[in-house]
Structure 1
Amino acid sequence: MRYGAVFPTADVRSAHQTRDLAQAYEDAGFDYIALAGHLLSARPGRYPGRPDYQYAAPFLDPFVLFSYLAATTSRIHFLSQVLILPLRETAAVARQAAELAFLSNNRFELGVGISWQEAEYRAAGQDVHKRGARLAEQVELLKLYWRQPLVTFKGEFHEIDEMGLARLPKNPIPIWFGSQFGEAAMRRAAALGDGWMPLGGSTDALPRFKEYVSEAGRDPNSIMLMGSMTVGKEGPDALVTEAQRLQGLGITHITVNSAPGATSDAAVSEVIEVGKTLKAAVP
């Protein structure tokens, strides 16, 4: 089992603090750091049905943060969980991801999703109603950019005429899909993803997802699967039991999140203690 920790962002005060937090996770034996976030933030309270930390936080850009942390760590991997890919220009993401993989010695993994916030799509000049189709085409194109020095491609959203990155990633960059449980979203992940992150933490849809993988002509055992747990909801024994259950379902990665509202320093301390317990009990 591989264990990751969600990187806290709400009260980060300095670059040195981000370095110290990342090094603490690496020293504690975590396998990866996961960073959530939007491209833009909204006004707190704009969406009463959602907690502010989901859309109003001072988010950090994964390419900028992870490039800095790659220079201050040596082993731990970095995962965008998730990058809202349809909001971004595909060629720029291809370049940024390839450069981050190069600078980190292949420690970057790209987690992508589509999100829900229509206002953010309007602000980025993108059509929220075509985000699923755009995401699928973007992933197809990213893989071409990372395999071919020059790419020729024509799709619904992109037209490329013998253009490329020139320097290709040494190893393939894993692409994770983060999604909820609609059929279209799950089928995209099953057909195109190297890994799937079921958002919301539920594992009820895993059997259906594996069926979709098989229907796409792929081996379900070849796809990485992520589970999650939050510190503070249950005690250590219950968390170990949950990790054992996830392992039995075929989960390959578990991401540990801090309790909502915890300060960055407190969050890291809590997550590290849970991580040590889990790694010892469910290696």
Structure 2
Amino acid sequence: MKAGVVYPQVELGGDPGAVKAFAQAAEELGYDHIVIYDHVLGAVHAGREPKLTGPYKETDPFHEPLVTYAYLAGITRRLELVTGVIILPQRQTALFAKQAADVDLFSDGRLRLGVGVGWNWVEYDGLEMSGHFRRRGKRQEQQITLIRKLWEQPVVEHEDSDHRIDRAGILPRPKRQIPIWLGGFSEAAYERAARIGDGFLFSGRTQSEAVQIKARIEARLRALGRDVDAFGLESIQQYGRGDNRWPGDIAAWRDAGGSHISVATLGANLTTVDAHIEAIRRWREVYDSLG
């Protein structure tokens, strides 16, 4: 089971020096990957109809994941760079395919894309994608199909309800099919991941919930004739649960057959990058002690 860290964007206030220090410390501590969350626009929640249901507001800072990873590609050596999750349907598909290809090339094949559909309709409006919010799941499926074509084929001819590419392609292309994992909280997201994803990233779920959903995804994979062992499953663990809970959390996911686990130090009342680095050091010691 591979171990990673979640970059605590909200607590570290958009400090570029913190990004460098945290990522390099994670690599030195032996972590396999780093996860970065995504929001392009923070929105005021008050007075909205329909209401905004997610946790983040206009006061919460976020670095753009692919830009951040282009930077980290040059100052880390082996950390896998994971988007967890990037809101794909609010982005232009061909441009995203090109940007991801470059990050993967610059990092020597270290990008893993976690993608989701999001909850912030204000963000979709601001990115001129308002017409896609209500059908964002279907759009994401079509995007993944096209993105994979653009990575593989020198010239693409493709048309669906959202896209039309007439004998064109991106260059340079990545040297591989970059892994695309899905994330989300709905049955539609789990089913979609089983059909077209390379893995699934659990965030905001209890350990028991993640284990139960993992079993349902794997059952669907078998029904589709897909290789369960080739499908990745990652659980985000909360540092703030306390060191008396970490061993059980780690062991439960390992025993359930999870392929990846990450620790999130967000929400643990840590206000400096040094405090977050000390936190991931402590969690890593516990992880290593469990073998």
Q: Distance in 1 between matches of 2:226 and 2:92?
A: 29
SS at match of 1:170: coil
The aligned residue for residue 31 of structure 2 is 30
1:147 alignment partner, one of 131, 149, 152: 152
Asked if the contact 1:6/1:257 (under 8 Å) is kept, the reply is yes
Relative to the length of structure 1, the TM-score reads: 0.92
* Alignment correspondent of 2:279: 270
Matched, 1:244 2:251: yes
Q: CA deviation at 1:66?
A: 0.8
Instruction: Verify the 8 A CA contact 2:116 2:183 in the aligned structure 1.
Output: yes
| C-alpha RMSD over aligned residues | 1.9
Equivalent-residue separation in structure 2 for 1:121 and 1:15 (angstroms): 26
Q: Using the alignment, how far apart are the partners of 1:49 and 1:102 within structure 2?
A: 36
Q: Which amino acid aligns with 2:155?
A: L
Distance 1:187 1:51, change over 3 A: closer
CA spacing shift, 1:264–1:70, aligned 2, 3 Å: farther
- C-alpha displacement of 1:58: 1.2
1:181 touches 1:198 (CA, 8 Å); kept in 2?
no
1:114-263 equivalence runs, <5 A: 114-126=117-129, 127-182=132-187, 184-201=188-205, 202-203=209-210, 204-236=212-244, 238-260=245-267, 261-263=269-271
Q: Go from structure 1 to structure 2 and tell me whether the alpha carbon gap of 1:249 and 1:72 turns closer, same or farther (over 3 Å shift).
A: same
Distance (whole Å) between structure 1 residues aligned to residue 77 and residue 65 of structure 2: 17
Distance 2:62 2:157 in 1: 35
Aligned-partner Cα distance in 2 for 1:198–1:124? 26
3-state SS of paired residue (2:9): coil
Q: TM-score, normalised on structure 2?
A: 0.90
Question: Contact 1:149/1:164 (CA < 8 Å) preserved in 2?
Answer: yes
Structure 2: runs of 5 or more not aligned: none
Tell me, yes or no, if structure 1 residue 92 matches structure 2 residue 95: yes
Q: Could you tell me how far apart the structure 2 residues matched to 1:271 and 1:45 are?
A: 35
User: Which ranges of 4 or more aligned residues in structure 1 deviate by more than 3 Å?
Assistant: 44-53
Contact 1:28 1:276 in 2 (8 A): no
Contact 1:256/1:275 (<8 A) preserved: no
**What's the % identity of the aligned pairs?**
30
State the distance in 1 between where 2:239 and 2:113 align: 25
- In the alignment, the residues of structure 2 paired with residue 95 and residue 112 of structure 1 have an alpha-carbon distance, to the nearest angstrom, of 16
